[in-house]
C-alpha cells in the first residue's frame, strides 16, 4: 500500500469495540451516584447518591432505551450497545460542565444562576453531540435524527421542570393534581428548588436550535469534498467504518459498492490430484486484493476460497493492490464460481520440471513448469515490498508466457515489509525499478522453464491451523506446506495465512527448512488480521521460534507425504466490482485530510457555538451572573 493508504489503515487504532449496553449503564449509574454524593448537601449521603442517580442517571437510562427505538422507527440503525455508550458519554459531558462551572463560579464569585445556565448549555451540547453521532453512524438525515437526539436533553429538562418548582411561576390553573404531578420542589435538592424559571426552558430551546444549526453546517462542510470527488457521503464511510470495527457489521460494503467500478480479472487454478483420483491440493490465484479489512469485501478471501476446494487449498497473494479490493462479499461468490469453471477445464499431466530460481535485481522468482503451464512465486525480500500493481503483474505474466508457456500462475510471496513507517510503503508500481526487475525476472524464469527437462512429478502436502489467531497475525487457514519433487530435486512452498512478514523472517524460515533444494515462504495477505491493528504482520506478535518449528515440521510432514500425482493449470476471467483505479488513493486522501481539517473545523464550531450560547444567556439574564 502507499503511504496515504497506510495512514488510512492506521486510523483503525482509534476504533474500539462497543461495550454491552448493561456495562455502559452500570458505569453511568455508579457515576451518577458518586456525583450526587459529592454535589448535593443533605444530612444523608445515601440520599444524595440516590438523588444523583435520579437526576443524572435517569435521563441516561431513558436515552439509552428510547434512542434506538426512535432511530429505527425513523429509518435509522442504532443499536442498544451504541445508544448506552453514547448516553454515558453525554452524562460524562454534563458532569464535566457542572464541575467546571462550579469551579469558575467560586473563583470569580459568580451567582448560582451562572452554574444553572452552564447546565442548560451542557444539555444543549449533548443534544448537538447526539445529533452528530446519530447522523454519522445511523445514516439518518439531520431533520429525522433530531427526535432521537433530543431524548436525553428532553428527559433532563422534564425533571428540571417538575422538581425545580417551575410550575409555580406559571399563571395557569390545574389544581392540586397538576401541582402534585408537575411540581415537586420539596423533593428536590436545595440547589434546584425554585432556581429555574419558565424562560430558562425557552432559552434552552433557543440554544439547542443554535447547536443543531452548527451541527448541520459542520456536516455540510466536511461532506462537500466527498460528494464532489466520489459522489458519496463521508457519513456513510464513517458509519460503516466504525460499525465494522466496533461491532463487526457489514454496513461498509454498501459504501464501497457505491464507489466501485467493474473490472475483468484473471483467475488461475493449479490442481494436483492422485492419478485419475481425488484432488490432493489446489492453488487458486484470483488477481484481486484480499481487502480492505476483516471480512468486508474480499477481506477473508483466502478462507472463502478454501471452503470451495476438494483438496488442500493454497490461496497465495496475487499481484494486485487495494484498487482491486472486492466491494462486497457477494463478489467472492463470482470469484469462486469462475475458479471452479477454470478447474473443470484443467488438462492434467504427470510431469514437471525441477524447481528453478531466478534472481533479477531486487526480484527473486521460484517456479516449476507443469506441462505447458507454470507455477511461480516472486519476492523482493530482503528488500521491503508490499503489494504489486495489477498492471505490473499482468506484464510479468505476459513476459513469462513469451517463451511458449500457456497459463502462468504468478503469486506475490508478500513476505517482507517494514510496516507503515516512512513515505514509501513498498508498493511496486509501473515505472518503479522493481517492476522491471519482476517483469524481466519473469521472462528469464519462463525461458528456463520452457527449456528445462520434465520428470515424473510427486507432491506432498501438510497443514496446521495452529493455535494462533488474528491477534497474533495468523488467519483461520493457519500454515500450509507443499513439497514438489521432480527427478531428484525438491522444492517446498509454504503459505502462511497472514498479511506480510517482518523483515528477515522469510530468510530465517527458508534457512531452517531442511530436506529440500529450494524453498519459498509466502503469505496470503488475509486481511482478517487487520481488524486488530493496521499492520499486524507475521512475526510482529507471535513467537517466531515457535513459527520456525511449525514450518519445519510441516515441510517434513509434506515430504513424508510425497506420492505420484497429476497436475494442471488453467485460467479464466471474472467480471467483478472492485474499488477501481485510483479510488483507493482518492478515498485515503480524503479520509486523511478529513482528520486534521475536521478537527480544526470542529474546534472552531464549538468555540463559536459556546460563545454565542454564552452571549444569549448573558443578554437574557441582564447581567444576573
What are the residues facing 538 on neighbouring strands? 501
HSE-CB for 289 with a 13 A CA cutoff? 26
Under DSSP, is residue 186 helix (H, G, I), strand (E, B) or coil? helix
The answer as to whether 12 is a domain residue is: no
Regarding whether 454 and 362 lie in a shared domain, the answer is: yes
The answer as to whether 236 is a domain residue is: no
Residue that is last in its domain, among 221, 249, 278: 221
The answer as to whether 618 is a domain residue is: no
Which residue did the predictor score with more confidence, 117 or 509?
Answer: 509
Task: Work out whether the CA dihedral 137, 139, 143, 146 comes out positive or negative.
Answer: negative
Q: What is the pLDDT of residues 162-190, one digit of tens each?
A: 776 555 445 544 445 444 444 444 555 55
Q: What is the CA radius of gyration of the chain?
A: 32
Predicted confidence at residue 258, as pLDDT, reads: 79
Predicted confidence at residue 38, as pLDDT, reads: 75
Determine the average pLDDT of the residues in 105-113.
78
- In this predicted structure, the answer to whether residue 203 has a pLDDT above a threshold of 70 is yes
Regarding whether 353 and 412 lie in a shared domain, the answer is: yes
Predicted confidence at residue 532, as pLDDT, reads: 52
Nearest to 135 by CA among 76, 80, 196, 82: 76
Q: Residue 410 belongs to what domain range?
A: 261-579
- In this predicted structure, the answer to whether residue 199 has a pLDDT above a threshold of 90 is no
Nearest to 165 by CA among 182, 148, 147: 182
- Reported as a pLDDT band with limits 50, 70 and 90, residue 41 is low
Predicted confidence at residue 197, as pLDDT, reads: 65
Please give the mean pLDDT across all residues of the chain: 85
Q: Are 413 and 522 in contact (CB under 8 A)?
A: yes
Cα 154 versus chain centre, distance: 35
What does DSSP assign to residue 166?
G
Regarding whether 23 and 172 lie in a shared domain, the answer is: yes
Under DSSP, is residue 593 helix (H, G, I), strand (E, B) or coil? helix
Regarding whether 519 and 444 lie in a shared domain, the answer is: yes
Residue that is last in its domain, among 540, 558, 579: 579
What are the residues facing 495 on neighbouring strands? 480, 522
What are the cell numbers at 597?
Answer: 481539517
The answer as to whether 602 is a domain residue is: no
Predicted confidence at residue 602, as pLDDT, reads: 81
Regarding whether 199 and 276 lie in a shared domain, the answer is: no
Q: Name residues whose C-beta falls within 8 Å of residue 395's C-beta, 6 or more positions apart in sequence.
A: 430, 435, 439
Regarding whether 456 and 349 lie in a shared domain, the answer is: yes
Regarding whether 350 and 208 lie in a shared domain, the answer is: no
- In this predicted structure, the answer to whether residue 14 has a pLDDT above a threshold of 60 is no
- In this predicted structure, the answer to whether residue 29 has a pLDDT above a threshold of 50 is yes
Q: What is the pLDDT of residues 526-584, one digit of tens each?
A: 988 876 555 689 999 999 999 999 999 999 999 999 999 999 999 999 999 998 776 66
Q: What is the pLDDT of residues 44-74, one digit of tens each?
A: 677 778 777 888 899 999 999 999 999 999 8
Predicted confidence at residue 227, as pLDDT, reads: 81
Q: Please state the domain count of the chain.
A: 2
Q: What is the pLDDT of residues 244-269, one digit of tens each?
A: 655 666 667 777 787 788 999 999 99
Determine the average pLDDT of the residues in 378-388.
94
Regarding whether 217 and 273 lie in a shared domain, the answer is: no
Q: What is the pLDDT of residues 409-454, one digit of tens each?
A: 999 999 999 865 544 557 899 999 999 999 999 999 999 999 999 9
Predicted confidence at residue 571, as pLDDT, reads: 97
Q: From edge to edge, which strands make up the β-sheet containing 261-273?
A: 312-314, 279-286, 261-273, 566-578
Regarding whether 160 and 32 lie in a shared domain, the answer is: yes
The answer as to whether 229 is a domain residue is: no
- In this predicted structure, the answer to whether residue 223 has a pLDDT above a threshold of 90 is no
Which residue did the predictor score with more confidence, 332 or 222?
Answer: 332
Q: Are 358 and 445 in contact (CB under 8 A)?
A: yes
- In this predicted structure, the answer to whether residue 378 has a pLDDT above a threshold of 90 is yes
Residue that is last in its domain, among 543, 563, 579: 579
Which residue did the predictor score with more confidence, 102 or 348?
Answer: 348
- In this predicted structure, the answer to whether residue 381 has a pLDDT above a threshold of 80 is yes
Range picked from 188-192, 216-220, 312-316 for highest mean pLDDT = 312-316
**% pLDDT > 90, the chain:** 56
The answer as to whether 461 is a domain residue is: yes
Which residue did the predictor score with more confidence, 42 or 139?
Answer: 139
Q: What is the pTM of this model?
A: 0.74
Predicted confidence at residue 182, as pLDDT, reads: 43
Which residue did the predictor score with more confidence, 439 or 585?
Answer: 439
Q: Which run of H or E residues covers position 411?
A: strand 408-412
Regarding whether 398 and 299 lie in a shared domain, the answer is: yes
Regarding whether 424 and 282 lie in a shared domain, the answer is: yes
The answer as to whether 486 is a domain residue is: yes
- Long-range contact list for 214-219, CB < 8 A, 24+ apart? 214/128, 214/605, 214/608, 214/609, 215/128, 215/131, 215/132, 215/135, 215/142, 216/142, 217/605, 218/132, 218/601, 218/602, 218/605, 219/132, 219/135, 219/136, 219/142
Q: What is the pLDDT of residues 478-513, one digit of tens each?
A: 999 999 999 999 999 999 999 999 999 999 999 999
What are the cell numbers at 181?
Answer: 404531578
Q: Name residues whose C-beta falls within 8 Å of residue 220's C-beta, 6 or more positions apart in sequence.
A: none
Q: Which run of H or E residues covers position 61?
A: helix 58-73
Predicted confidence at residue 177, as pLDDT, reads: 42
The answer as to whether 619 is a domain residue is: no
What does DSSP assign to residue 388?
B
Predicted confidence at residue 356, as pLDDT, reads: 97
Regarding whether 435 and 329 lie in a shared domain, the answer is: yes
- In this predicted structure, the answer to whether residue 10 has a pLDDT above a threshold of 70 is no
Amino acid at each position: 500500500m502507499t503511504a496515504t493508504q497506510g495512514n488510512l489503515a492506521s486510523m483503525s487504532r482509534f476504533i474500539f469495540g462497543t461495550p454491552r449496553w448493561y456495562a455502559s449503564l452500570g458505569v453511568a449509574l455508579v457515576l451518577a451516584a458518586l456525583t450526587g454524593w459529592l454535589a448535593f448537601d443533605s444530612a444523608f449521603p445515601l440520599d444524595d447518591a440516590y438523588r444523583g442517580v435520579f437526576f443524572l442517571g435517569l435521563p441516561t437510562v431513558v436515552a439509552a432505551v428510547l434512542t434506538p427505538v426512535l432511530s429505527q422507527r425513523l429509518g435509522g440503525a442504532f443499536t442498544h450497545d451504541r445508544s448506552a455508550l453514547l448516553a454515558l458519554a453525554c452524562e460524562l459531558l454534563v458532569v464535566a460542565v457542572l464541575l467546571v462551572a462550579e469551579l469558575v463560579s467560586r473563583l470569580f464569585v459568580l451567582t448560582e444562576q451562572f452554574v444553572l445556565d452552564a447546565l442548560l448549555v451542557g444539555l444543549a451540547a449533548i443534544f448537538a453531540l447526539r445529533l452528530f453521532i446519530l447522523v454519522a453512524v445511523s445514516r439518518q438525515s439531520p431533520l429525522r435524527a433530531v427526535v432521537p437526539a433530543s431524548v436525553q436533553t428532553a428527559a433532563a429538562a422534564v425533571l428540571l421542570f417538575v422538581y425545580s418548582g417551575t410550575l409555580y411561576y406559571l399563571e395557569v390553573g390545574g389544581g392540586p393534581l397538576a401541582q402534585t404531578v408537575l411540581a415537586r420542589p420539596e423533593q428536590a435538592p436545595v440547589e434546584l428548588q425554585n432556581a429555574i424559571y419558565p424562560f430558562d426552558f425557552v432559552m434552552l430551546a433557543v440554544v439547542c436550535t443554535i447547536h443543531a444549526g452548527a451541527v448541520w453546517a459542520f456536516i455540510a462542510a466536511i461532506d462537500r469534498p466527498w460528494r464532489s470527488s466520489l459522489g458519496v457521503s463521508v457519513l456513510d464511510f464513517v458509519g460503516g467504518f466504525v460499525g465494522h470495527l466496533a461491532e463487526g457489521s457489514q454496513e461498509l460494503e454498501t459504501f464501497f459498492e457505491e464507489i466501485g467500478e467493474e473490472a475483468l480479472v484473471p483467475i488461475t487454478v493449479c490442481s494436483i490430484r492422485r492419478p485419475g483420483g481425488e484432488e490432493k491440493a489446489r492453488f487458486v490465484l484470483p488477481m484481486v486484493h484480499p481487502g480492505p479489512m476483516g471480512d468486508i469485501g474480499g477481506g477473508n478471501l483466502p478462507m472463502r476460497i478454501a471452503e470451495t476446494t476438494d483438496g488442500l487449498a493454497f490461496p497465495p497473494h496475487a499481484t494486485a493492490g487495494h484498487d482491486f479490493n472486492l466491494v462486497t462479499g457477494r463478489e467472492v461468490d463470482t470469484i469462486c464460481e469462475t475458479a471452479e469453471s477454470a478447474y473443470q477445464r484443467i488438462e492434467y499431466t504427470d510431469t514437471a520440471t525441477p524447481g528453478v530460481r531466478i534472481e533479477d535485481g531486487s526480484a527473486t522468482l521460484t517456479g516449476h513448469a507443469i506441462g505447458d503451464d507454470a507455477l511461480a512465486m516472486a519476492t523482493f525480500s530482503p528488500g521491503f515490498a508490499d503489494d504489486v500493481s495489477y498492471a505490473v503483474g499482468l506484464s510479468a505474466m505476459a513476459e513469462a508466457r513469451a517463451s511458449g508457456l500457456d497459463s502462468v500462475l504468478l503469486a506475490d510471496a508478500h513476505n517482507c515489509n517494514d510496516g507503515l513507517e516512512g513515505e514509501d510503503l513498498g508498493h511496486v508500481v509501473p515505472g518503479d525499478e522493481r517492476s522491471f526487475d519482476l517483469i524481466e525476472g519473469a521472462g528469464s524464469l519462463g525461458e528456463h522453464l520452457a527449456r528445462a527437462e520434465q520428470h515424473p512429478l510427486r507432491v506432498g502436502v501438510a497443514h496446521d491451523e495452529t493455535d494462533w489467531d488474528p491477534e497474533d497475525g495468523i488467519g483461520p487457514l493457519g500454515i500450509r506446506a507443499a513439497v514438489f519433487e521432480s527427478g531428484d530435486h525438491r522444492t517446498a512452498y509454504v503459505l502462511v495465512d497472514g498479511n506480510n512478514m517482518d523483515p528477515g523472517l522469510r530468510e530465517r524460515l527458508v534457512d531452517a527448512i531442511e530436506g529440500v533444494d529450494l524453498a519459498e515462504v509466502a503469505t496470503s495477505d488475509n486481511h482478517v488480521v487487520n481488524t486488530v491493528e493496521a499492520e499486524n504482520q507475521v512475526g510482529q506478535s507471535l513467537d517466531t521460534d515457535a513459527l520456525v518449528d511449525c514450518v519445519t515440521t510441516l515441510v517434513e510432514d509434506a515430504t513424508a507425504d510425497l506420492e505420484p500425482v497429476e497436475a494442471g493449470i488453467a485460467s479464466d476471467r471474472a467480471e467483478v466490482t472492485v474499488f477501481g483505479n485510483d479510488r483507493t488513493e482518492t478515498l485515503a486522501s480524503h479520509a486523511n485530510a478529513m482528520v486534521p481539517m475536521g478537527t480544526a473545523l470542529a474546534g472552531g464550531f464549538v468555540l463559536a457555538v459556546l460563545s454565542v450560547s454564552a452571549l444569549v444567556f448573558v443578554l437574557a439574564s441582564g447581567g444576573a451572573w
